[in-house]
Structure 1
Amino acid sequence: MKDVQNMGDTRGIAIQRVGISQAWLPFLIANKKKAEKPQHVTAKVKRFTVDLPMEYKGTHMSRFMEILHEYANKPLEFSTVDNLLTESLTKLSAKSAHIAVGFKYFVKKTAPISHKKSLLDVDCSFIGDKEKDGVLNFTIVVSVPVTSLCPCSKEISKYGAHNQRSIVKVKVKSCQPNSLTIEQLVKLIENQASSSVYSILKREDEKYVTETAYENPKFVEDMLRDLVLSMRKLKDVDYFSIECENFESIHNHNAYASHKEYMDRE
């Protein structure tokens, strides 16, 4: 049959990224403990693309889905994303390949006093970028809900202090396989908040969480700065960015802070 995609094009324009977007598939996400089974997730392939030389009319769209279906049965992590993109470069005769996959990941939580078990849903993404004969640039993105309590409110009030739900979004990029996991990033973020949040809390847990936040007040700036210091200690990280947003309980606007940094390992 006639291969229209491989027909020539005379407009002289190389396309930097072409492929598919918004594809939903079941995937496996590697667990922090290798002995445990990978977690099944429903993932959105936000984009999966390669470059297209100027001499070709189009790319082979069906090959993207064929590759995705093959890797849907393999735990997704640095090495599998690397293999997936390497295969894409070969099968699509490309010089660069890129993928971004978003999913809900459930982190196991234990209430502080009652020890009730629950699951915390975390918005995550894996992003991979690779050039032909190059190394994989792998990015993990997590958005974690936490509690923040206002230091100013605590200082000026006779009793109580206002607190709020906060979302902390962290991106971590590395060119090397490392042991950094979603669970580790979640814990790193939670440690810099006034308190963690939980899906299940009994009365004794609620008392503990409320008092913990009260004794650990933090502005959005405090959470961000403390998290920057923690991120700087991570090994094999080339770049990170942080966004902190407090959904204010006494204002009709949010408080926001962000920071990004390239790591200097020399």
Structure 2
Amino acid sequence: MEDVQAKADKRKIAINKVGIKGIRHPVRISDRSGERQHTVANFNMYVGLPHHLKGTHMSRFIEILNQQEWEITIQSFKKMLQEMTYYLQADSGYIEMDFPYFIAKQAPVSKIKSLMDYQVTFIGEANQNKQQVVIKIIVPVTSLCPCSKKISDYGAHNQRSHITVTARVKGFIWIEDIIDLVEEEASCEIYSLLKRPDEKYVTEQAYDNPKFVEDMVRDIAARLNPDDRILAYRVESENFESIHNHSAYAIIEQDKQLHVN
């Protein structure tokens, strides 16, 4: 049968990204405990299209996802990116994989266990035989306002916050390593299930550890700076204010390789 997509295009205009968006596919994720999580990821998969080609072969993206059961690590994600660009004969490629990741957490006092979910994204880019993978993790935490605590006779307002760390990494790093780092620098971490003694603990823990949105991004950046596994990062904090009809926001971006002597 005639392959229309493989025909020449006379307009001489290259396309930066063409492919499929919003396809869900089951994957297995290795976690730090040695177990494998089965989850469903949302994929966006694109390649660059040269100016002389009319179109790309959309079905081949699906074939790549279905050709084997992918157990996702940074290394296997790079392999998927490499296979996609090779199979579609493209000079550049891009894969974004977004999935929920679950960690069993113990409540601080009762020690009762429950699953806490985090949103994780792997973003891979290939260009001229160079590959790069970025990990993005959204970590919900509690923040308590230092100003509110200082000026009030009793109590202080707190809020749920989303800390988003986007990191370009070297070698291997566990998803849990980044989550642990973020939670340790919040006023208090969040749990799915708490009994009354646990509620007392987290309330007092946040009160004893007040932090502005600026404090949280700076404290996390101070932890990321000396970590040799992190080549570049962006850390964002959005506090969903409990006494305002807006969010407080801060961001720090750092490419550590630009500062290497």
TM-score normalised by L of structure 1: 0.94
Whole-angstrom distance in 2 between the partners of 1:132 and 1:28: 29
1:190-201 map, 5 Å: 190-201=183-194
Whole-angstrom distance in 2 between the partners of 1:236 and 1:38: 23
Residues 160-190 of structure 1 show CA distances to partners (whole Å, capped at 9, x for unaligned) of 111111110110013x322x12111111110
Whole-angstrom distance in 1 between the partners of 2:18 and 2:242: 44
SS at match of 1:93: coil
Q: Return the offset for 1:261.
A: 0.7
Residue 8 of structure 1: aligned partner: 8
1:171-190 map, 5 Å: 171-174=166-169, 176-178=170-172, 180-190=173-183
User: How many pairs does the alignment contain?
Assistant: 259
Matched, 1:123 2:116: no
1:94-173 map, 5 Å: 94-134=90-130, 136-173=131-168
Whole-angstrom distance in 1 between the partners of 2:260 and 2:32: 26
**8 Å CA contact 1:18, 1:49 repeated in 2:** yes
Q: Return the offset for 1:231.
A: 1.0
SS at match of 2:148: helix
Residue 246 of structure 2: aligned partner: 253
Matched, 1:58 2:55: yes
**8 Å CA contact 1:94, 1:132 repeated in 2:** no
Whole-angstrom distance in 2 between the partners of 1:148 and 1:208: 15
Residue 226 of structure 1: aligned partner: 219
Residue 35 of structure 2: aligned partner: 37
Q: Return the offset for 1:56.
A: 1.1
Whole-angstrom distance in 2 between the partners of 1:170 and 1:218: 18
Q: Return the offset for 1:37.
A: 2.7
Residues 139-178 of structure 1 show CA distances to partners (whole Å, capped at 9, x for unaligned) of 110111100011111111111111111110110013x322
SS at match of 1:193: coil
Q: Return the offset for 1:88.
A: 1.2
Counterpart residue identity of residue 143, structure 2: S
SS at match of 1:250: coil
| Gap runs ≥5 in structure 1 | none
Q: CA RMSD in A?
A: 1.2
Residue 82 of structure 2: aligned partner: 86
**8 Å CA contact 1:89, 1:132 repeated in 2:** no
**8 Å CA contact 1:28, 1:74 repeated in 2:** yes
Counterpart residue identity of residue 43, structure 1: A
Residues 87-135 of structure 1 show CA distances to partners (whole Å, capped at 9, x for unaligned) of 112111111111001111111211111101011111110000112432x
Question: Deviation above 3 Å: which 4+ runs of structure 1?
Answer: none
Matched, 1:238 2:217: no
Whole-angstrom distance in 1 between the partners of 2:158 and 2:229: 35
Whole-angstrom distance in 2 between the partners of 1:9 and 1:42: 37
Residue 202 of structure 2: aligned partner: 209
| Gap runs ≥5 in structure 2 | none
TM-score normalised by L of structure 2: 0.96
